[in-house]
A = this chain, B = another copy of it.
């Protein structure tokens, strides 16, 4: 561990909560270098929806590498990219009636967001992007401008402009009508809101604290965008790829965003990959107007295509996810009910769930206790007040129950400790 302290920048973060050296991983578990297993309810912050090192995906990946298929091809045509595109069209786009074109904007989610923002500004000739309180979209300058977290914004070192922030669903007092503020601004030529190019929204804000937008709110937002000629960007980087049940997290609301960003679990195997999707009529890019070295990382396309075939050819995976989500929610409700004095309450949808505590510091303690008990669990929210459950969607019921039991124990221990001190 001394190696890391000596050589790795102080910017490192997760390792501070989990001071062990990981070595192996399989399914819902990771193992430290002493072979100690940890049940993983973190799943690479949503990048490992299908668990670690899925054997069938692994096999495809190793075959690809073994055969000396091309690994790195920028945006030249490759057989594996064609296969990915066709599979994505057949399994994802067509059944959902989505006539999207696909951009490979680079390997990271922030590349997908940056491309989405550029495209929205190019299409509309406008500059302002509407984002939401506690949104998280990435660390590059364009993506950071639409991100709420003040510590991360402070890292920019320059003003973060061309953005107008609106209240996310349920952000205010529960009385204020949805979009009252935004609609009033849009209707008033003296409001000071410059005509917006686009709205960027997560259906569930993962980093923001598992804040969940209702289907009704999302539809209201989509309607508002249509009414005022504003493009709707759904950032589905963390909540897409089945995290909430359906492949896209916005399907339940029945909306069709103009632009969609995907990354994290799109390769299915934790390989860097990202996509920006947009309606065909929005494909106003010039050749090479946005580029990037790793936009053609073929192994990720290979596992990505296989993932789609295996998990998304029918509804069964989505249904299983929803059922597991209910299981998790039910158990979390019980845990919350055990500790009413902590102001605990459950958030989320599908297998993106949070247990929020009003008592300061408690979520961090629960997470630390859980780690002691062999469970990896992140906190999120502006004050890290929420324990955030993103187990692999492939986790078995037994694994889920095991993890939830650990959380229950950890909550008891953390509450007890906080009362003692």
B189 touches A25 (CB 8 A): no
List A residues 153-205 near B (Cβ within 8 Å): 153-165, 167, 171-173, 175-177, 180-181, 184-185, 188-195, 197
A14 touches B75 (CB 8 A): yes
Contact with B along A4-19 (1 / 0, CB 8 A): 1011111111111011
Please give the distance in Å from A135's CB to the nearest CB on chain B: 7
Q: Bound state CA distance, A181 and B165, in angstroms?
A: 11
A185 / chain B contacts, CB cutoff of 8 Å? 133, 165
A78 touches B21 (CB 8 A): yes
Contact with B along A276-289 (1 / 0, CB 8 A): 10100001111111
Name the one of B10, B109, B157, B208 contacting A286, with C-beta atoms under 8 angstroms. Answer: B10
B167 touches A181 (CB 8 A): yes
A227 CB–B CB distance under 8 Å? no
A82 CB–B CB distance under 8 Å? yes
Contact with B along A94-119 (1 / 0, CB 8 A): 00000001111011111100110110
Contact with B along A243-278 (1 / 0, CB 8 A): 000000000000000000001100001111000101
Q: Name the residue on B nearest A380 (C-beta).
A: B190
Contact with B along A122-135 (1 / 0, CB 8 A): 10000100010111
Q: Name the residue on B nearest A111 (C-beta).
A: B108
B22 touches A70 (CB 8 A): yes
Name the one of B19, B122, B131, B139 contacting A155, with C-beta atoms under 8 angstroms. Answer: B122
Contact with B along A66-99 (1 / 0, CB 8 A): 1111111111111101100110110000000000
A13 / chain B contacts, CB cutoff of 8 Å? 75, 287-288, 291
- Given A127-B158, A152-B289, A188-B134, A18 and B76 touching (CB < 8 A)? yes
Name the one of B79, B122, B161 contacting A22, with C-beta atoms under 8 angstroms. Answer: B79
A374 CB–B CB distance under 8 Å? no
B158 touches A7 (CB 8 A): no
A28 CB–B CB distance under 8 Å? no
- Given A4-B85, A7-B89, A71 and B180 touching (CB < 8 A)? no
A103 touches B133 (CB 8 A): no
B161 touches A158 (CB 8 A): yes
- Given A3-B82, A157-B118, A382-B190, A151 and B289 touching (CB < 8 A)? yes
A20 CB–B CB distance under 8 Å? yes
Please give the distance in Å from A301's CB to the nearest CB on chain B: 12
B108 touches A70 (CB 8 A): no
- Given A25-B68, A82-B4, A290-B139, A110 and B106 touching (CB < 8 A)? yes
Contact with B along A142-153 (1 / 0, CB 8 A): 110111111111
- Given A9-B103, A287-B11, A292 and B110 touching (CB < 8 A)? yes
B189 touches A150 (CB 8 A): yes
Contact with B along A41-76 (1 / 0, CB 8 A): 000111110001100001001100111111111111
Given contacts A11-B291, A140-B141, 18 further A-B contacts (CB under 8 A): A16-B287, A22-B79, A25-B68, A30-B70, A45-B293, A61-B65, A72-B271, A107-B108, A107-B294, A115-B139, A122-B155, A133-B185, A141-B142, A142-B156, A159-B194, A181-B181, A190-B209, A190-B382
20 A–B pairs (Cβ distance < 8 Å), ordered by A: A7-B89, A8-B104, A10-B284, A11-B103, A23-B78, A47-B72, A47-B294, A52-B71, A108-B294, A110-B140, A122-B157, A141-B142, A148-B190, A149-B192, A150-B195, A153-B194, A159-B162, A160-B194, A165-B191, A172-B180
